[in-house]
Amino acid sequence: MEINRMIDHTLLKQDASIEAIKKLCEEAKQYHFASVCVNPGFVPLAAKMLKGTDVKVCTVVGFPLGATLPESKAYEAKLAIEKGATEVDMVLNDSMAKEHDYEYIAKEVALVKKACGDILLKVILETCLLSDDEIIECSKACVRGGADYVKTSTGFSKGGATTHAVELMRKAVGPKIGVKASGGIHSREEAQAMIDAGASRIGASCGVQIVEGK
């Protein structure tokens, strides 16, 4: 697969402007990225701009801390889908991960997946906060809950994607579940390293420079 079709072209900054979101969507159409990833408030705009194209509209729920109630995440996902989202990235509860309550995580993911139905659900682990064993067990719990992808990072904590985390996640989920590397990926070289480690999707705000090999 061409690298452009593996990129979620992302803008999740708190102060993102309408013009910046429009530019994001135009770039996504031009470069045929897999999706744009925007905060829920921008889903209607992105859906309108990308209607009739091959670019998906991805949004985030429970973002960026993952500390909201599972029912809130499920409702947020449902509402975003009604507004035009065609992929959902949810943040799991990292506090429960640190408590090793993997059953809680599996049930939380299952609740959000039920709200998503056939819509692709990616689950974000804040891997910079987790041990190797916690990354592995969280990834397995996400699969039990019905996740379509596991994802390395929000990009809003103390660290982003690493090839080591990607390798752990890929080993944990097997070949049929997606792994999304996100957070701190700025170049084609960095993106390719994540793909070589097992990533099947790249989340990045630098999608254009990645594609152009800069």
At 71, which CATH number?
3.20.20.70
Q: Say yes or no to pLDDT of 43 above 80.
A: yes
Rounded CA separation 96/98 (Å): 5
> Annotated active-site positions, please?
89, 151, 180
pLDDT computed for residue 71 by the predictor: 98
Residue 33, SS3 per DSSP: coil
Answer for the pair 153, 185: CB distance below 8 angstroms, yes or no.
Answer: no
The rounded distance, in Å, linking the Cα atoms of 23 and 193 is 27
**For residues 39-43, average pLDDT:** 98
pLDDT band at 191 (very low <50, low <70, confident <90, very high): very high
CA 105 to chain centre: 16
Mean pLDDT confidence for 41-56? 98
Q: How would residue 214 be classed by pLDDT, with cut points 50, 70 and 90? A: low
Q: Give residues with Cβ within 8 angstroms of 168, minimum separation 6.
A: 132, 135, 136, 139
| pLDDT tens, position by position, 95-141 | 999 999 999 999 999 999 999 999 999 999 999 999 999 999 999 99
Q: What is the pLDDT of residue 213?
A: 85
State pLDDT tens for residues 154-189: 999 999 999 999 999 999 999 999 999 999 999 999
**What is the CB neighbour count within 10 angstroms for residue 127?**
30
- Tally of CB atoms within 10 A around 188: 16
Provide the 10 A C-beta neighbour count for residue 68.
16
Instruction: Place 60 in a pLDDT band, splitting at 50, 70 and 90.
Output: very high
Contact 165, 135 (CB under 8 A): yes
Which among 178, 116, 107, 174 has a CA at the least distance from the CA of 144? Answer: 107
For residue 76, pLDDT beyond 70: yes
Q: Which amino acid is at 17?
A: S
* Confidence class for position 205, pLDDT limits 50, 70, 90: very high
Residue 212 gets the label, from left (phi > 0), alpha (psi -120 to 50) or beta, of alpha
pLDDT tops 90 at residue 1: no
Which domain range does residue 184 map to? 3-211
The mean pLDDT of the chain is 97
How high is the pLDDT of residue 17? Answer: 98
Name the domain count of the chain: 1
Average pLDDT over residues 29-36: 98
Q: Where would I find the beta strands (DSSP E) of the chain?
A: 7-11, 35-38, 56-61, 87-91, 120-124, 149-151, 178-182, 201-204
CA–CA distance, 19 with 16 (Å, rounded to integer): 8
